[in-house]
Amino acid sequence: MDALITAAARFLAAGDALSALQRVALRDDAPALALRGIAMAQLGEHPRARELLRQAAKAFGPKEAVARARSIVAEAEVALAMRDLGDPTRPLLQAAATLDAHDDRANALQARLIAARRLILLGRLDEAAEALPTQDVDDAPPMLGAMVGLASAELAMRALRSGDARIAIERALVAAQRSGVAALMAEANDLRASLDHPAARRVDGGQVRPLRLDDVEALLASSLLVVDACRRAIRGAGLHVDLARRPVLFALARVLAESWPGDADRATLILRAFRTRYADETHRARLRVELGRLRALIDPVARIEATHKGFALRVADEHAVTLLVPPMEGETASLLALLADGAAWSTSALAMALVASQRTVQRALAELEAAGRVRAIGQARAKRWLAPPMTGIATILLLPAQPPAG
């Protein structure tokens, strides 16, 4: 390594990106490209940083596998900061394996952490839990240890394991204090405070009560039958029916839960499930079919009985029915929860995280912009969206969580 590269690397390690650029700005060899990319990332010029790091990864020769792997990891970190979530995970994990093979544990840990954080943003929580590094964390640099702790806490909170989340947050806070990075300490403190904010609401006979995350956890572990509008499922009393991909059945379950212990009339069921006020015999026939499907799914615990007025949900005496709804409802709630992380999101990344079309997301963003709830920066493909943080509520149950495939 020549003297200029060594000097530039030292300036970058000290956070002096401009001095580093002064030494390598006119060079196009692979090490210089990599250092220029890192410097541009430190200056917030993320698109240019990605381009330089990609060039560096291609320019390193076959005998420079470690340098190439580090460039891939650095580019992936910049892509994550840009909320560009479209790149495949495999090259990053291959880079992690290469770094592991050459005993570069810290950068290998960083690569796996980036992969896990990307999966968390996409709501692919089972895959994120598998990807999240659990070994070599104690010996890792404090900053990396704090980031692993924060990712572990978020996964635990989304899985409704508030006890595990508190432990992970405390570990993250200790590591953040050791690292001296104020942003990590603030993030850990914010996450800890969110555990005391309302994460959902419980609705019983029109009465609404706010629930913290540990209250939600206790509710789902009780003998109550819970129609969960946060995750679109029916849970509790030994039952777990995922209806995230069956919106009609979930709409029917929600109306029946809202009416429990009474019955729901047919017109309301048809309106909420099929979104029409003009019901005819075909709608009534379809309603009977859909209720038959729902009845088969909940049969071990509950029944759906026809009444003079419509239909009613019946459970055994030892059970009761309750409805769990998110702290904020509406089709844009998940969109605002994603944007509340303070990062600038592209429309395509939001669409990927929400598993929606870009056109649908664009329409929602246009409505929110007109209402002054989001703002755009940049133009055309460089356009990004920002929103202020949500205060007073925990957004964890508003964030998307894709059910496992299959």
What is the overall mean pLDDT for the chain?
90
- Quote the percentage of the chain above a pLDDT of 70: 98
DSSP 3-21: HHHHHHHHHHHTT-HHHHH
Whether residue 219 is predicted with pLDDT greater than 80 in this model: the reply is yes
Whether residue 246 is predicted with pLDDT greater than 90 in this model: the reply is yes
Q: Helix, strand, or coil here: 332?
A: coil
Distance CA 225, CA 302 (A): 9
> CB under 8 Å to 113, separation ≥6 — which residues?
132, 133, 144, 147, 148, 151
Q: Helix, strand, or coil here: 387?
A: coil
Q: What pLDDT score does 398 carry?
A: 87
SS (H, E, C) 70-125: HHHHHHHHHHHHCCCCCCCCHHHHHHHHHHHHCCCHHHHHHHHHHHHHHHHHCCCH
pTM of the model: 0.83
Whether residue 34 is predicted with pLDDT greater than 90 in this model: the reply is yes
Token pair in block for residue 282:
């075909």
Q: What pLDDT score does 292 carry?
A: 95
- pLDDT tens-digit map of 85-106: 888 888 899 999 999 999 998 9
Distance CA 153, CA 89 (A): 22
Whether residue 137 is predicted with pLDDT greater than 90 in this model: the reply is no
Whether residue 45 is predicted with pLDDT greater than 80 in this model: the reply is yes
Token pair in block for residue 104:
């570069």
Distance CA 240, CA 248 (A): 17
Whether residue 210 is predicted with pLDDT greater than 50 in this model: the reply is yes
What is the four-CA torsion angle of 218, 219, 225, 231, rounded to 10 degrees?
-100
Distance CA 393, CA 197 (A): 5
Whether residue 216 is predicted with pLDDT greater than 50 in this model: the reply is yes
Cis peptide before 261, with omega less than 30 degrees from 0?
yes
Q: Are 185 and 204 in contact (CB under 8 A)?
A: no
Distance CA 237, CA 240 (A): 9
Q: Helix, strand, or coil here: 209?
A: strand
* Section 233-260 average pLDDT: 91
Q: Return the H-helix or E-strand segment holding 203.
A: strand 200-204
Distance CA 39, CA 13 (A): 10
- pLDDT tens-digit map of 150-200: 999 999 998 889 999 999 999 999 999 998 889 899 999 999 999 999 999
- For residue 335, with 0-12 CB atoms within 10 Å meaning exposed, 13-18 middle and 19 or more buried, which class applies? buried
Q: What pLDDT score does 405 carry?
A: 52
Give the residue among 193, 90, 108 at the shortest CA–CA distance from 144. 108
Distance CA 24, CA 30 (A): 11
Q: What pLDDT score does 406 carry?
A: 45
Q: Are 305 and 311 in contact (CB under 8 A)?
A: yes
- pLDDT tens-digit map of 291-326: 999 999 998 789 999 999 999 999 887 788 999 999
Q: What pLDDT score does 132 carry?
A: 87
Give the residue among 1, 22, 2, 27 at the shortest CA–CA distance from 11. 22
Q: Return the H-helix or E-strand segment holding 296.
A: helix 281-298
Whether residue 116 is predicted with pLDDT greater than 70 in this model: the reply is yes
